[in-house]
Amino acid sequence: MRVRLLSLVLALTCLGSLPATAQSCKPALADGDLVAPGKIQMSINPTLPPQQFVDEKGELQGLNVELMKEIAKRLCLPLEFIRMDFPPMVPALTAGRFDGIDTGMFWTEERSKIAYTVPYAQQTISITVAKGKTAFKSLEEVGGHKAGVEVNSYQERWLRGADKEQAAKGAKPIEILTFTTATDVIAALRAGQVEAAILIDQTALEIQRRGVVEITATGLGGAPTTMMYRNRTVAEKVAAALTDMKKDGTYDRLFDKFGITKAPESVFTIRGPGPK
């Protein structure tokens, strides 16, 4: 039933491939390395501006969109994005529904054992509140209040771990409410369902720029963000393309354009053991 549900989700949310054009280059990946012959398919959750979002025309925009388009171009492969919520992404990846995840997820050791992870950026976490509401200057101050966070995310795991540590020291526990997307978290904040929203910092900055929230604390729980791939060869080719982009300046130009924190590495590689 779960597999059929995942198939239905993908069928309903799948975007068409970028149009094929006459190519003078040779694809860097064999059909046997890809879920669908002749193209690379990536899942994306377009609810995290400026990393990935949908513009007023309904088109995908953001750093991760442009970054993956450039990678696909260098691999000489058409690119297909599959829009879906974050929670089913990893099960769908391991079930072989698409080639990789391109949604700005945090790297963790656990994830590096599920699939082949290629860290490519840095990210931290921010506490935000609705404009004019109580300004929580630290996570300790959120104790005793309701906080919203995206479900099954690094932010949720970090928040629960930090809250547990604080409670062990005698602090009031945080009432943690989870939501499917960051957009849902912001909606809950604005509706008064939660008093604080726990967001990745670049998303928090973008939402604050739009005048929707105020950031009251930032730079928390820093970690690299990563792409995930089901096939090791695909991950290696993507890492090599990122390294080339760093060398020729394309990587820096894209990150500067969207104001995302760059990875400290100049050579990108798979991090972790990958699946057994």
Rounded Cα–Cα distance for residues 23 and 33 (Å): 20
Task: Specify whether the CB–CB gap between 104 and 51 falls below 8 A.
Answer: yes
Contacts of 186 (CB under 8 A, 6+ apart): 197, 199, 207, 212, 213
Q: Write out residues in the chain with pLDDT < 70, as ranges.
A: 1-23
Rounded Cα–Cα distance for residues 101 and 226 (Å): 9
Contacts of 218 (CB under 8 A, 6+ apart): 124, 125, 126, 127, 201, 204
Place of tokens 């991950």: 235
From residue 38, give the alpha-carbon distance in Å to each of 44, 93, 266: 20, 18, 29
Instruction: Kindly state the tokens that stand for 66.
Output: 């442009």
What is residue 17's predicted lDDT score, i.e. its pLDDT?
A: 45
As assigned by CATH, the class of the 124-222 domain is alpha beta
Domain with CATH 3.40.190.10 in the chain: 2-123+224-258, 124-222
Task: Specify whether the CB–CB gap between 72 and 66 falls below 8 A.
Answer: no
pLDDT one-digit tens code per residue, 106-144: 999 999 999 999 999 999 999 999 999 999 999 999 999
What is the CB neighbour count within 10 angstroms for residue 109? 10
What is residue 203's predicted lDDT score, i.e. its pLDDT?
A: 92
What is residue 120's predicted lDDT score, i.e. its pLDDT?
A: 98
φ and ψ at residue 83, rounded to 5 degrees: -80, 130
What is residue 76's predicted lDDT score, i.e. its pLDDT?
A: 98
φ and ψ at residue 14, rounded to 5 degrees: -70, 130
The count of residues in the chain is 276
Place of tokens 């993507």: 238
What is residue 22's predicted lDDT score, i.e. its pLDDT?
A: 40
Q: What is the pTM assigned to this prediction?
A: 0.82
Rounded Cα–Cα distance for residues 236 and 257 (Å): 26
Rounded Cα–Cα distance for residues 122 and 261 (Å): 5
What is residue 101's predicted lDDT score, i.e. its pLDDT?
A: 98
CATH topology of domain 2-123+224-258: D-Maltodextrin-Binding Protein; domain 2 (3.40.190)
Exposed (0-12), middle (13-18) or buried (19+): which is 132, by Cβ within 10 Å? exposed
What is residue 23's predicted lDDT score, i.e. its pLDDT?
A: 55
